[in-house]
Amino acid sequence: MADTLQLDLVSPAKLLLSESVGMVVVPGVEGYFGVLPNHMPLVSTLRPGVVTVHDGVTDAARKSFFVDGGFAEVNPESCTLLVDEAVPVEELTADSIAERLAAAEEKRGSAATDEDRSAAEAALAVVAAMAEAMSAAA
Amino acid sequence: MASLKDLRVRITSVQSTKKITSAMKMVAASKLRRAQDAAEQARPYAQRMEAMLGNLAAGAFGQDGAPPLLVGTGKDDSHLVIVMTANRGLCGGFNSSIIRSARGLIKGLMDQGKSVKIYTVGRKGRDNLKREFEDHMVGHFDEFGRTVSSFSEAEHVATAVKSMFDASEFDVCTMIYAHFVSAMVQNVTCQQIIPFPVPEIEDGEGAGSGGGYEYEPSDTEILADLLPRNLAIQLFRALLENGASEQGARMSAMDSATRNAGDMIDKLKMTYNRTRQAKITTELIEIISGAEAV
């Protein structure tokens, strides 16, 4: 039995992470779930949140990334995360979050159609999750 | 025969042409590096997305109510062709080879009696196809980055294409772009993006594809999210590949232009020196024969 699984974290712009890990915790749309080797095949959408990479179940998180949504595909040997954007949590700063918050609020204010409005709401949710991730890391 | 002064003028002008082409080559080379990086970084996402979608699609295919982006409208009467070219010229045969194969594809479809719509990305494609197919042009986009396209630009095109599809303006969508292989080699590629080309299901391990997966929230919801996303991703990848190909093509075109200018300068210099020598000889002969006559 394999005791590690292959984790690939990719965004459209680049391949952020591709390595063997012991466990990874993923923000699924219905809640966080941990993926261990030999997990059953699963496809899930992700919500904005933090992906944490562990060497083993009991080890502390080795790396963590903030992701703003995307998809996860889990196999017994691998876990592929396709995300829109991923930022290492330690690189999140209050300034950049405030900037995004302002942009998202402005967009919501100027939204003309329901579609625009829901897009702006989604952006706001991302910012909120980002702020939470930063305060949790601090 | 050209006078010495004419030759000098020509040599200077070829020299400055050479300077320009070699500067353009350097610029293209540095842009190429960035564009190539971006294109290569984008490949894993697009490939994994395709693999994931292939798995999902194999399961959902043939079911009732499968999303039309996946299975198509069931017809193939009208086609949308997305032609991706560069905004600027001076890049060898890059634009013209894309346009040539686009024209071939469009003509072929028309001969089969299909109705064809054309969406152009990049100014050169629009300018060249307008003469022949103006009535078929439905859209155009050229505000992409000079070196590296951003994802939002691809999303812009994807939204336009998707809204046309939702309004059932076409059944099949194909895009034409140049796949980047190296600075010397770019392959013009036609890729069908709507409906999604479902890969052949392999036997043996086939149980894994489609079947064994569990879906959260549900496969239809995931597909509904994933398909438009895939459209944007495929377009994004094509834009980046095209960007890299353009710079590669420009670099090699400018390289050979620089070399040609060098050859030309050598030839002109040779003629210049010969003419100069001939002139001196003639003058000497004139002086000597003048002195002898006295």
What pLDDT shows up at residue B208?
A: 42
Asked if residue A66 lies in contact with residue A50, where contact means CB atoms within 8 angstroms, the answer is: yes
Distance between CA B27 and CA B57 in Å, rounded? 43
Asked if residue B4 lies in contact with residue B275, where contact means CB atoms within 8 angstroms, the answer is: yes
Contact criterion met (CB < 8 Å) for B214 and A43: yes
Asked if residue A49 lies in contact with residue A86, where contact means CB atoms within 8 angstroms, the answer is: no
What pLDDT shows up at residue B49?
A: 84
Least confident of A53-67, A118-132, B201-215: B201-215
The domain spans of chain B are 23-252
pLDDT in tens, A62-121: 888 888 888 898 888 889 898 888 888 888 778 888 888 888 888 788 877 777 777 777
Structure tokens at A113: 């159609």
**Pick from B46, B212, B226: CB nearest A41:** B212
Name the residue among B151, B156, B182, B177 with its Cα closest to residue B45.
B151
Asked if residue A80 lies in contact with residue B48, where contact means CB atoms within 8 angstroms, the answer is: yes
Question: Is ipTM strictly over 0.90?
Answer: no
Mean pLDDT of B15-32: 94
Fold of B23-252: Pyruvate Kinase; Chain: A, domain 1 (3.40.1380)
What letter would DSSP give residue A13? S
pTM, entire model? 0.82
C-alpha distances (whole Å) from B58 to each of B70, B72, B258 are 10, 14, 52
State the catalytic residue, choosing from B28, B70, B91, B183.
B91
Residue B57 has pLDDT above 80, yes or no: no
Distance between CA A118 and CA B215 in Å, rounded? 24
DSSP secondary structure string, A47-68? -SEEEEEESSSSSPEEEEEEE-
Identify residues of B whose CB sits under 8 angstroms from chain A CBs: 38, 41-42, 44-46, 48-49, 52, 55-56, 151, 208, 212-217, 219, 221-222, 225-226, 229, 233, 236
Asked if residue B202 lies in contact with residue B209, where contact means CB atoms within 8 angstroms, the answer is: yes
Asked if residue B4 lies in contact with residue B11, where contact means CB atoms within 8 angstroms, the answer is: no
The tally of CA atoms less than 13 A away on the side-chain side of residue B186 is 33
Chain B CB contacts of A30 under 8 Å are: 216-217
- Among A47, A73, A79, A116, the residue to mutate for chain B (most B Cβ within 10 A): A73
Distance between CA B35 and CA B246 in Å, rounded? 9
Fold of A5-89: ATP Synthase; domain 1 (2.60.15)
- Where is mean pLDDT largest: A20-24, A120-124, B19-23, B129-133? B19-23
